[in-house]
Amino acid sequence: MRARMKSLARRRRARLIAAIAVAGAAIALGAPAGISHGDAADRFVAGGPVTDRSPVAADRAAASLALAAAFRSRVGLPEPATSRVERVVDRFDGTAYDEVTASDGAGQPVHVARFDARGRLVGAVAFGWQVAGGPTLANAAAARARGDRLAADLGLEPSGTPDVRQAPDETGWILTWPRLVDGVPVVGDGVRVDLWPDGRMHAIVRTERSLAARPATTLDEATARTRATATLGTIFGGRAGQVRIASIALGWVAPNSAFDPTGPDAPGATLRLAWIAEARTSGDLADGLRAVKLFLDAGTGTLIGGDVLR
């Protein structure tokens, strides 16, 4: 009996942690396609505010409240005692959206929904971690079927078949649909749906950022690999022999200042087509740096950002 109680306690804690984590993910993301002109014109500066919140006009609030009511009806969420509508501008991501926070009679938030300027749902979370209602979903196939229906009902427009995995300690299911444009992945974009164990909606995030025009001419893979090798030589100098390209592929990326300390503090809001070169380190260089990722403009081969793994 004591072992069972400990197991139940661990699951409750895991569900609480999952609820907090998913809420944070849902609240952190939006859809740049919904930015109104000028909303996010002031770029993020390190040390400055990440988000700005402001009330909205009555007519705009009414439209957002109507969208939130329709959303609640589709996913089976209860009617709140009160709702608050705010305009949120995320200067780091370059996104903006209307956020509707629903609260119970005690003033505690029970769920949040976010809508872009086109009225599309771009984020939502239902707080709480108690299983209620019907039986748990039997397996990944059942979770996929439920997630597909929910995505269709909410007009999320995901493409392809989602990746499905069970959350830790049986706290639910996580479904993700990566965004592809002409077969090329848009890194970081897509749809994510989190389900409670019984299939109820836990959280939704849709990320769909703006894309720059595709280059008139795209470098071939061999040329891109040569440019990437030369760039690594410039960055690492005499230690370039300890860095080897492991893979290279096209992808849409947000330009950043990973290798340019004078660049902006936030990644670019408009994504560009790039060759993404992943390189692994060896020798003593690997003691402090495990891997390097380069973003090379797909048309010119110019370094436009990247990442490092230490």
- Residue 131 reports pLDDT greater than 90: no
Report the distance separating Cα 198 and Cα 8, nearest Å: 17
**Tokens 């998913």 map to which residue?**
22
Can you give the pLDDT at residue 134? 76
Task: Give tens-digit pLDDT for 19-64.
Answer: 434 444 433 333 334 434 344 445 544 555 567 899 999 999 999 9
Of how many residues is the chain composed? Answer: 310
Tokens 């396609």 sit on residue = 33
Residue range 248-273, pLDDT digits in tens: 999 999 999 999 887 776 788 899 99
Please list the residue range(s) of the chain that carry CATH number 3.10.450. Answer: 221-309
Indicate the pLDDT class of residue 279, thresholds 50, 70 and 90: very high
Q: In the CATH scheme, what architecture does the domain 221-309 have?
A: Roll (3.10)
Task: For residue 140, count CB atoms less than 10 angstroms from its CB and return exposed for 0-12, middle for 13-18, buried for 19 or more.
Answer: middle
First to last CA, the chain: 45
